[in-house]
Amino acid sequence: MTHNDGDWSHKYKTLSNTPEAALMVRTGDIDNLGFGFASGFTDESGGSSDST
């Protein structure tokens, strides 16, 4: 969890006036289709995530 992104374990999250956006809305189950993410992985890295 970060101040900018909120708690990623929540399926729905709305944040206002973050350093990145006036309004941020995230919806859905963000868990890489059940595989999770490697430590330090970010969706903006441009890299592939593990799926095994």
Q: What is the pLDDT of residue 3?
A: 63
Cα separations (Å) of 51 from 7, 23, 35, 42, 43? 22, 31, 6, 15, 14
Cα 44 from chain centroid? 10
38, amino acid identity? A
pLDDT, position 44: 76
- Both tokens of residue 29? 């189950």
Mean pLDDT in order along the chain per 10 residues (52 residues) = 70 86 84 77 75 62
Cα–Cα distance, 40 to 22 (Å, whole number): 25
Domain boundaries, the chain: 1-29
